[in-house]
Amino acid sequence: MSDYMLYFILCASIAFNVFFIWYIRNLLSQLYFVANNMSELVDETISFRDHLSSVYELETFYGDETLAGLLAHVGQYSETLSDFEEIYALLDEEEQEIEENDVNADEY
């Protein structure tokens, strides 16, 4: 009877481990997707902030309080996104280090 119990525990353990490996793999792929999209979102926000700043500096709109408030709001928003990008950029840093090491190895 104890042999059947050991086989059952072994099979349950294997199934449990396979499920968690699959689950962790899916979580990591979703995290990688979010990290890539977060970087693109920050780049677009910075581009928008720069464009808004150039419009604000035009003679027609210079000193407009609405545009000044919008420019300040976009600046705060881009800082918040940059903070989130730093959190998710941990994945990209590891990849960049590997790529840099590969490039440096190819140069020698």
The domain of 48 spans: 30-107
Residue corresponding to tokens 């979010």? 34
92 part of a folded domain? yes
Indicate the DSSP class of residue 62. Answer: T
- In a domain? residue 80: yes
What's the chain's average pLDDT? 78
Number of domains in the chain: 1
Instruction: Give the residue-averaged pLDDT of 83-95.
Output: 65
Angle between helices 65-107 and 2-56 (to 10 degrees): 120
Is there a domain that residue 13 lies in?
no
Question: pLDDT digits over 29-66, tens only?
Answer: 888 887 777 778 878 888 888 887 777 777 776 777 87
- Which pTM was predicted? 0.50
d(CA 77, CA 52): 13
- In this predicted structure, the answer to whether residue 22 has a pLDDT above a threshold of 80 is yes
DSSP 8-state secondary structure symbol assigned to residue 57: T
Asked, for residue 22, whether it belongs to a domain, the answer is no
- Is 97 among the domain residues? yes
